[in-house]
Amino acid sequence: MADKKTINSSKVLKIGIIIYAAVFIIGILFTLFAGLKLDINFSGGTRITYSYTGKVEEKDFKKVAKSVIKKDFTVGSSTSLAGDVKTLTVNLAGRNTLDTKTQESLTTKLEEKFTKNNIELYDSNSVSPTVAGTFFIKSLVAVILTAIFVIIYVGIRFRKIGGVSAAVTALCALVLDLFVSFFVCVIFRLQIDSNYMAVVLTILGYSLNDTIVVYDRVRENKKLFPQLDLSENMNVSISGIIKRNIVTTVTTVSAVATIILVSELFGLTSLRTFAIPMAFGLVSGCFTSLFVAGPLWVIWQNRKNKKA
């Protein structure tokens, strides 16, 4: 078994470190110079959406809005999947909320300007910074609790091959995946919203499942081939499951790519903020479960054995 051609996971780990370092540097630079786009659920603010028919230029819409709103705001446009509802949205972040009177005035001005476009109020939502902060803390707590459960579950399940080391290295892989999805949002100028939290929890489950498959194979090969050292065992184990992991990931990413295509064609912002970071996170999860968690576990165990 050991004589068969296997993947050298430690060499792939070194390549992975270079790739992830580059992603981190680019992501940090974008974060510092371009900033984050936070949804009002995280930053607070007001979001007012208007539906319309025909054609309304975004610049003309913004010009009318500026005559009423004396604060900084942005305007976004989208079209429903069926193409029957077109909308323009006014976004104000932070403490730049609009009172009811101003919203009514804005609606009146728009109706007067675009009389042939049947423009009307479609949705309105305001969130105070305090409520937004509470929502952010709750989301963060959910992620932290998930991480704790990951450590406990993996630590108990793989206690015969070094439960703590298996749990911590699995968590390291998950953290890399989450940073990748986060930096993708920053680079592609996507809003960090509730969709992103769904992406985070989905990637956690997906990547963890792949890592567990690796550890299961290592534990199995440890019984079948006791003559293999830790590094050889990991290489053999990864070589035995890599095709399965890649095929599963390609299949899943293909489905997500379809969502991305639809969102780009119809301007569905909510789908973009979910599908794009999800696609990159899934690819990262496939790589880290094979070539980060496993090789790091080998390094940990080897150092532990040397000390012993």
pLDDT bucket at 17, cuts 50 / 70 / 90: very high
pLDDT for res 81: 63
User: What pTM was computed for the model?
Assistant: 0.84
Q: Do domains 9-38+131-307 and 45-127 have the same CATH topology?
A: no
C-alpha separations of 221 from 135, 215, 228, 288, 293 in Å: 45, 10, 9, 21, 17
- Asked if residue 76 lies in contact with residue 267, where contact means CB atoms within 8 angstroms, the answer is no
- β-bridge mates for residue 46, sequence order: 92, 126
**Average pLDDT of the chain to the nearest whole number:** 88
C-alpha separations of 84 from 52, 56, 81, 266 in Å: 10, 15, 8, 11
pLDDT for res 216: 94
C-alpha separations of 41 from 7, 56, 146, 282, 302 in Å: 45, 28, 21, 25, 46
Instruction: Report pLDDT digits (tens) over 145-154.
Output: 888 888 898 8
- β-bridge mates for residue 269, sequence order: none
- Asked if residue 304 lies in contact with residue 162, where contact means CB atoms within 8 angstroms, the answer is yes
The CATH H-level (homologous superfamily) assignment of domain 45-127 is Ferrodoxin-fold anticodon-binding domain (3.30.70.380)
- Asked if residue 165 lies in contact with residue 10, where contact means CB atoms within 8 angstroms, the answer is no
- Between CA 48 and CA 54, with CA 49 as vertex, the angle to 5 degrees is 145
Residue 135 has pLDDT above 90, yes or no: no
CATH number of 9-38+131-307: 1.20.1640.10
Instruction: Report pLDDT digits (tens) over 76-107.
Output: 887 776 667 888 888 888 777 788 888 899 99
pLDDT for res 1: 47
Average confidence (pLDDT) over 242-263: 93
Instruction: Report pLDDT digits (tens) over 169-212.
Output: 999 999 999 999 999 999 998 988 888 888 998 998 889 999 99
* H or E stretch at 179: helix 163-187
Where do the structural domains in the chain lie, given as residue ranges? 9-38+131-307, 45-127
Burial class (CB in 10 A: 0-12, 13-18, 19+), 18: exposed
d(CA 33, CA 55): 35
